[in-house]
A = this chain, B = another copy of it.
Amino acid sequence: MAKEGADMTEETEYMINRNVGKEPENVETTSDAKEMRAVILAGFGGLNKLRVTKKPMPELQDGEVKIRVKACGLNFLDLMVRQGTIDNPPKPPVVPGFECSGIIESVAENTAGFEIGDRVMAFVNYNAWAEVVCTPVDFVYKMPDEMTFAEAAAFSLNFVAAYMMLFEVANLREGMSVLVHSAGGGVGQAVAQLCSTVPNVTVFGIASCFKHTAIRDSVTHLFDRNIDYMQEVKKISPEGVDIVLDCLCGENTGKGLTLLKPLGTYILYGASNMVTGETKSFFSFAKSWWQVEKVNPIKLYEENKVIAGFSLLNLLFKHGKSSLVKSVMDKLLCLYDQKKIKPVVDSLWALEEVKEAMQRIHDRGNIGKLILDVEKAPTPLMASDSTETSEAGEEEEEPEGDNDSKERMPFIH
């Protein structure tokens, strides 16, 4: 894919300019088409760096299947990719997105077990937010018959991450307690459901107040993210908790470690606190990195504590653990068949609505997963609507040449 990205640079930039303001329905979507619609990240920065454009169809490589995409998952990590605040970011332009669901349209050699017409969900190392995706069968899983494409796109990353953290990294057992940040998010809801498959597990969830009514039943104790959650947890459980799952980082790392019982495990699986405004400079990323509280191993020794990091995408695409992930997916699909778990979908968005979707996840407005529904037509917006909402403390964005009103054209019909 790096090769494709390199070859594509000039052509894609040409298309970005050519396609600004075009209607998506002009794009062909039959199997014979040479081009497909895709979300393109033209460079790192704000929402204005995202467009829907035409792109040549990807070509099958040995061991890959070609998937006609129905739905894609949107994760907080996609915001960080957009801002370039990840380790070793790809060279733009790039098609973002790490997971999708759809129907297999063709198969290459060495794809035993998969056939044209199979309904599948898949991980992709970028390029998921497109009408057609090619990915190695190592990252492809057949969907249960009763699972919808939206559910499937909401399933893979969140449930695999939640399961592996609870049962592979930590060792969740009967009677334990779990603290989870962003309890209303996709991973948070997966964690809550998986905890309920183990007897007598106490879940402390932290979420914005306006989500509490919707998610109250999914956790044992629910706290507002703006209060001193350490004090609240200690009131209920003075000795602390067994497992802390943190996607925020920053000061929550020290707090999480402090809240651990002896032999407890703190797992960092994201760093969404690094994203404060719509854009983020490399300097502020570096600052965040260095400001994270480092951990003294001797302190862990004295306190009998465990600190872990978990990145499912690195595990899959850098660390070669696809077989392990496949075995975890098998267990998860059993739990799904037994109706013990079910992905929570927050909302469906057209590809052309990716900016609004991203803003919603940035504002932490979602309960469960945001899905890009490839076949959905964009919802008409009022001309006065703006995708450029902001929050307190947002950083000033540098003025950019292409940040003009044309940017919003695809969203207004």
Which residues on A are within 8 Å of B, measured CB to CB?
A: 87, 168-169, 171, 249, 253, 262-263, 265, 268-271, 289, 292-311, 314-315, 319-321, 324
Q: Is the CB of B263 within 8 A of A301?
A: no
Which 5 pairs across A and B sit closest by C-beta, in order of nearness? A300-B309, A301-B309, A294-B294, A262-B319, A306-B308
Q: Is the CB of B263 within 8 A of A169?
A: yes
Complex Cα spacing A321 to B305, Å = 13
Complex Cα spacing A314 to B301, Å = 9
Report B-chain residues with C-beta under 8 Å of the C-beta of A249.
297-298
Q: Is the CB of B315 within 8 A of A263?
A: yes
Q: Is the CB of A321 within 8 A of B263?
A: yes
Complex Cα spacing A253 to B300, Å = 12
Nearest chain-B residue to A169 (Cβ)?
Answer: B306
Report B-chain residues with C-beta under 8 Å of the C-beta of A296.
289, 292, 294-295
Complex Cα spacing A250 to B67, Å = 50
Complex Cα spacing A296 to B297, Å = 11
| A–B complex contacts, Cβ < 8 Å, 20 sampled | A168-B171, A249-B297, A249-B298, A262-B319, A263-B315, A263-B319, A289-B298, A292-B296, A292-B297, A293-B297, A297-B307, A297-B309, A298-B309, A299-B309, A300-B309, A302-B309, A302-B314, A304-B311, A304-B315, A307-B307
Complex Cα spacing A253 to B297, Å = 8
Q: Is the CB of B263 within 8 A of A168?
A: yes
Q: Is the CB of A300 within 8 A of B268?
A: yes
Q: Is the CB of A315 within 8 A of B268?
A: no
Q: Is the CB of A314 within 8 A of B306?
A: no
Report B-chain residues with C-beta under 8 Å of the C-beta of A293.
297
Complex Cα spacing A234 to B304, Å = 29
A14 to chain B, nearest CB (A): 35
A411 to chain B, nearest CB (A): 34
Q: Indicate which residue in B262, B268, B302 contacts A298 across the interface (CB closer than 8 Å).
A: B268
Report B-chain residues with C-beta under 8 Å of the C-beta of A268.
297-298, 300-301
Q: Is the CB of A269 within 8 A of B87?
A: no
Q: A263-B315, A309-B304, A310-B304 are in contact. Are A295 and B295 (CB under 8 A)?
A: yes
Most chain B CB atoms below 10 A, which of A171, A296, A298, A319: A298
Nearest chain-B residue to A239 (Cβ)?
Answer: B320
A26 to chain B, nearest CB (A): 41
Most chain B CB atoms below 10 A, which of A263, A304, A321: A304
Report B-chain residues with C-beta under 8 Å of the C-beta of A324.
263
Given contact pairs A262-B321, A304-B311, A305-B308, a sample of 20 additional A-B residue pairs in the complex whose CB atoms are under 8 Å apart: A87-B302, A168-B171, A171-B171, A253-B297, A263-B319, A265-B306, A268-B297, A292-B297, A294-B295, A294-B296, A294-B297, A295-B295, A295-B297, A301-B310, A303-B309, A303-B314, A304-B309, A304-B314, A305-B309, A306-B306
Q: Indicate which residue in B253, B295, B303, B315 contacts A307 across the interface (CB closer than 8 Å).
A: B295
Complex Cα spacing A319 to B299, Å = 14
Complex Cα spacing A249 to B299, Å = 12
Complex Cα spacing A265 to B249, Å = 21
A214 to chain B, nearest CB (A): 29
Report B-chain residues with C-beta under 8 Å of the C-beta of A308.
300, 305-307
Report B-chain residues with C-beta under 8 Å of the C-beta of A292.
296-298
A344 to chain B, nearest CB (A): 24
Complex Cα spacing A264 to B98, Å = 24
Q: Is the CB of B297 within 8 A of A301?
A: no
Complex Cα spacing A310 to B308, Å = 15
